[in-house]
Amino acid sequence: MKRFLFLPLLALTLASALAATIPAASTSDSISYMPDLLNQPAVCNDLKLTPIQKVRIDAIRAEYRAKVGVVSAAGLLDTTLDNKAEKKLASYHASCNQRVLRILTPAQRIRFREIERQFQGGLFLLSPSEQNLLKLTPDQRHKAAEILSVDSAKASEVQKAFLAGKKSALRKEIDLHRIQRTTARSLLHLLTPEQKTEWLASLGTPVKK
């Protein structure tokens, strides 16, 4: 479960020549936890979410947090449940994203993917659909998986130190953010110059904060 929890900690106008190669709409395999990202005022305003959309997304967020609380509590009581917990949380994550996408309009989904890239930075390259859009080679995908594995292990050690009382909550957050930044940079370095140019062009207009 600790390895999985790193992922959320675990983001732009296309040139006309590139528009046909990168579909813009968000997909449920995103590493973003969409209900939380859509809870940010700047994102909400940018997408012009309606009151009804906000209420429906709030309900999904509340339901997810309740489920995560149950799974997390079980994991703390029995560490042998870690693998099962990871699968459950991953399933909840994807399910919530799918439900959110059904609430957004097609235009909102297109803009939302740009916003995801802006907020997630290089970490967004962990999304399989993003790897497909950029046509990452098998070797690039393998290296991305290795980067994730190594950095997730580091994040797990940070979490263990915190739970053992060897790190303060502030120190834990600082260390996890540092690992995230390192992961994002490492993933972006995997791209060819052409892929990086294409990805940067897909970021869209910056969100006004």
Domain ranges of the chain: 2-201
Give Cβ neighbours of residue 65 (< 8 Å, ≥ 6 apart): none
pTM here is 0.76
State the number of CA atoms in the 13 A half-sphere of 10 facing the CB: 30
What's the pLDDT tens digit per position in 142-181? Answer: 999 999 999 989 988 998 888 889 989 899 999 999 999 9
Give the type of residue at 84.
Answer: K
Classified as helix, coil or strand, 150 is helix
Q: How far is CA 102 from CA 27, 57, 115, in A?
A: 10, 10, 17
The structure tokens listed for 65 are: 């947090």
The structure tokens listed for 93 are: 């994550």
Q: What is the pLDDT of residue 183?
A: 95
Cα–Cα distance for residue pair 153/3, rounded to 1 Å: 7
Running DSSP on this structure, what letter comes out for residue 125? G
Q: Write down the mean pLDDT value for the chain.
A: 82
User: Which ranges of 21-79 would DSSP assign to H, the alpha helix?
Assistant: 34-37, 41-47, 51-77
pLDDT band at 9 (very low <50, low <70, confident <90, very high): very low
Which tops the pLDDT comparison, 138 or 96?
138
Residue 7, phi then psi, degrees to nearest 5: -60, -50
Helix 82-103 to helix 51-77 angle (10° resolution) is 180
Query: What percentage of the chain's residues is helix, strand, coil (to nearest 5)?
Result: 70, 0, 30
pLDDT band at 72 (very low <50, low <70, confident <90, very high): low
The structure tokens listed for 27 are: 């997909």
Q: What is the pLDDT of residue 84?
A: 66
Which tops the pLDDT comparison, 12 or 46?
46
Q: What is the pLDDT of residue 204?
A: 92
Which tops the pLDDT comparison, 138 or 13?
138
Residue 52, phi then psi, degrees to nearest 5: -65, -40
What's the pLDDT tens digit per position in 111-135? Answer: 999 999 999 999 999 999 899 999 9
Give Cβ neighbours of residue 176 (< 8 Å, ≥ 6 apart): 6, 9, 155, 158, 159
Contact 33, 93 (CB under 8 A): yes
